[in-house]
């Protein structure tokens, strides 16, 4: 049985009201919602704004982590890999479960807009089960809080950028991807200038998305970039990490660039990693 999670205290009643008011006034008709799967990949969908508002408004005014009764995701999101291949011998998800929808929770504290997607409203959520990474982290942080410990952290990522699209890479059978820039040159202002639109979009649009970068520069390796995300409370840090990786890929696609966060895609080149 999962341990009981504490409900996050709202910053203030007016803060919760502000989020709901802003959502009501948004001119669009949809909201984007997502959860993090066990591989650190965002899985989500668009929902009609009225559906989200109805779910959020149906709960107590002091609830920040509101149950969205009509928002669910098939439990297979915690039962397959990044290629949608189901894991063997899974307990939470599998054919034996019938793949039902699992109810999700939206965290009002994660409310933001996606600047590169028509400024659509966005929420992160989690499922109340042990296999949900965000829920597991909240369990750990609750235990730390009982010991008087406040956990703060920051994340840093390195990744390769390729002049490819998913289609072009598939046509090449994922071999010999063309790097954004050739050769090795860390901290190169020249290489950043040669791709200034991309680098500026990453820094500015991720910041507007609530993922503020502390630093952004080229790293050793062809087409390799490194970014450090500003530190915060551990849950916010984890949210920023998964949003950073997803956001980077979405922004990069606009420039014909395909980022890869693989630890080591070539035995002949340096590896890349993520640091806490």
For the chain, domain boundaries: 13-146, 152-275
Report the candidate in 178, 196, 198, 182 with the shortest Cα–Cα distance to residue 248: 198
Residue 35: pLDDT over 50:
yes
Q: Are 178 and 163 spatial neighbours (Cβ–Cβ below 8 Å)?
A: yes
Residue 269: pLDDT over 50:
yes
Which of these ranges, 105-109, 118-122, 237-241, has the smallest mean pLDDT?
Answer: 105-109
pLDDT-based confidence at 276, cuts 50/70/90?
A: very high
Residue 131: pLDDT over 50:
yes
Top CATH class, 13-146: alpha beta
The total number of residues written for the chain in this structure: 276
The highest-confidence range among 17-21, 100-104, 118-122, by mean pLDDT, is 118-122
Residue 176: pLDDT over 50:
yes
The alpha-carbon radius of gyration of the chain (Å, integer) is: 20
Mean pLDDT across 111-124: 97
In terms of pLDDT, which residue wins out, 59 or 218? 218
pTM of the model: 0.90
pLDDT-based confidence at 224, cuts 50/70/90?
A: very high
Mean pLDDT across 163-188: 95
Domains 13-146 and 152-275 share a fold: no
Mean pLDDT across 17-33: 93
Q: CA 198, CA 201: separation in Å to the nearest integer? A: 5
Work out the end-to-end distance of the chain between its first and last CA atoms, rounded to an integer number of angstroms.
30
CATH 3.40.640.10 fits 152-275, yes or no: no
């Amino acid at each position: 049985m999962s341990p009981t999670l504490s409900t996050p205290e709202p910053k203030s009643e007016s803060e919760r009201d502000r989020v709901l008011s802003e959502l009501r006034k948004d001119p669009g008709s949809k909201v984007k919602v997502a959860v993090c799967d066990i591989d650190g990949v965002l899985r989500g969908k668009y929902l009609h704004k009225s559906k989200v508002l109805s779910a959020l408004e149906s709960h107590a005014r002091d609830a920040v982590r509101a149950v969205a009764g009509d928002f669910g995701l098939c439990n297979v999101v915690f039962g397959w890999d990044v290629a949608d291949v189901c894991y063997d011998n899974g307990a939470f998800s599998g054919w034996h479960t019938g793949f039902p929808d699992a109810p999700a929770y939206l965290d009002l504290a994660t409310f933001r807009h996606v600047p590169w997607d028509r400024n659509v409203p966005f929420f992160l959520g989690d499922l109340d089960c042990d296999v949900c990474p965000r829920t597991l982290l909240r369990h750990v942080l609750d235990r730390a809080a009982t010991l008087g410990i406040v956990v703060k952290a920051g994340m840093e990522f390195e990744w390769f950028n390729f002049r490819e699209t998913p289609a072009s890479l598939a046509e090449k059978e994922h071999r010999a991807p063309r790097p954004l820039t050739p050769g090795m040159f860390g901290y190169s202002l020249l290489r950043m200038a040669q791709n200034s639109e991309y680098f500026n979009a990453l820094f500015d649009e991720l910041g507007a998305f609530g993922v503020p970068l502390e630093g952004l520069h080229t790293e050793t390796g062809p087409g390799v970039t490194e970014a450090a995300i500003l530190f915060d409370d551990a849950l916010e840090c984890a949210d920023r990490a998964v949003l950073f990786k997803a956001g980077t890929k979405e922004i990069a696609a606009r420039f014909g660039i395909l980022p890869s966060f693989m630890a080591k895609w070539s035995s002949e080149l340096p590896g890349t990693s993520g640091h806490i």
